[in-house]
Amino acid sequence: MTSYPKTSALMARGSEFLGTEHAILCGAMSWVSERNLVSAISNAGGFGVIACGAMTPELLDTEIAETKKLTDKPFGVNLITMHPQLFDLIEVCTKHGVGHVVLAGGIPPKGSVEAIKASGAKVLVFAPTLALAKKLLRSGADALVIEGNEAGGHIGPVATSVLAQEFLPELAEDHVVFVAGGIGTGDMIAAYLEMGASGVQLGTRFACAKESIAHPDFKKAFFRAKARDAETSVQVDPRLPVIPVRALKNKGTEEFSAKQREVAKLLDEGKVDMGEAQLQIEHFWAGALRRAVIDGDVEGGSLMAGQSVSLVTEEEPVAEIITKLMEQSEAALTRRNRV
């Protein structure tokens, strides 16, 4: 007998798809979503996701092996579609029998979805438009994550609430759809589940969990921040299609503008092509994030955070965060059913 009958009933499809007790995914956050946080989330009944980011196949191999030592529950791996060694990374996931791979950061390259599915794994994709979502689902993707502008890290231009109204009525009946971006409480989870979502994804809410290896100063910056402090990066040159990133405003935000100008100049001079230019930007983020998360450089590093950062006020164990979210969702659904 579940302690959260109403929430669990609405999450049933997502939980079955993930193989978990609760259909709560952790967003893949570079340097943060590693073995400790991922295993803690899976052990607490959620679904942890390793953020591969700019990792080499060797590093990912080690990370998956180490995560498996800490949990026997299902967890996934998030791969960036523009990674130059994407197919090698897929092979590493296959070798370890990873059951779910999330493809993020762009349209999956030809053959990537098939390569993942060949091992029996499930593929989750992101889509910024309904037309693209339908195309990806037709092309073999098993589930969809719709992520709104309120989220942290790389974001699209449309709010989660609008995406949910647009996508869920069209897709939720026939497909597994997770909603992400700006979710910090169980009340919000309940609302999206009622609209037809199979589950939710949260990143910012877990970034400062007790099990997160993020530096104490990184966590303190989150506890102090208000929703409006999580700003989107500015695109300096329209010819350089940089996906905007939401992070807490600091000196690192300005450094990113300078980096864009530098890469745009190299592009102008023909010293790099567009693919290489975008990779350079990705590597900049990987380095800036590392400085903030691992070294605690909260001024020069990148403090990627969603607008729900205002709801993160203390360090809590992952199990408590998940329990709280489920209790809040159940209470919200119970209140609504009284009417």
> Which phi and psi (to 5°) does residue 22 adopt?
-120, 145
Q: 282-290 long-range contacts, Cβ below 8 Å, gap at least 24?
A: 282/54, 282/80, 282/82, 283/54, 284/256, 284/259, 285/30, 285/245, 285/256, 286/30, 286/53, 286/54, 288/252, 288/255, 288/256, 289/30, 289/31, 290/30, 290/31
* C-alpha span between 315 and 317 (Å, rounded): 7
Q: What is the pLDDT of residue 192?
A: 98
pLDDT at 50 over 50: yes
* C-alpha span between 111 and 125 (Å, rounded): 14
pLDDT band at 154 (very low <50, low <70, confident <90, very high): confident
Give the H/E segment covering residue 165: helix 160-171
pLDDT at 1 over 60: no
> Stretch 208-218: mean pLDDT, rounded?
98
* C-alpha span between 280 and 78 (Å, rounded): 20
Q: How far is CA 74 from the centre of its chain?
A: 17
Which burial class, exposed, middle or buried, applies to 118 when counting CB atoms under 10 A from its CB (0-12, 13-18, 19+)? exposed
pLDDT band at 234 (very low <50, low <70, confident <90, very high): confident
Percentage, residues of the chain above pLDDT 70: 99
Mean pLDDT check: name the lowest of 16-20, 53-57, 219-223, 240-244. 240-244
Percentage, residues of the chain above pLDDT 90: 81
pLDDT band at 278 (very low <50, low <70, confident <90, very high): confident
> Stretch 209-218: mean pLDDT, rounded?
98
Q: pLDDT tens, 297-329?
A: 999 999 999 999 999 999 999 999 999 999 999
Q: How many beta carbons lie within 10 A of that of residue 251, not counting itself? A: 11
pLDDT band at 339 (very low <50, low <70, confident <90, very high): very low
Q: pLDDT tens, 103-135?
A: 998 899 999 999 999 999 999 999 989 999 999
CA-wise closest residue to 292 among 226, 195, 230, 215? 215
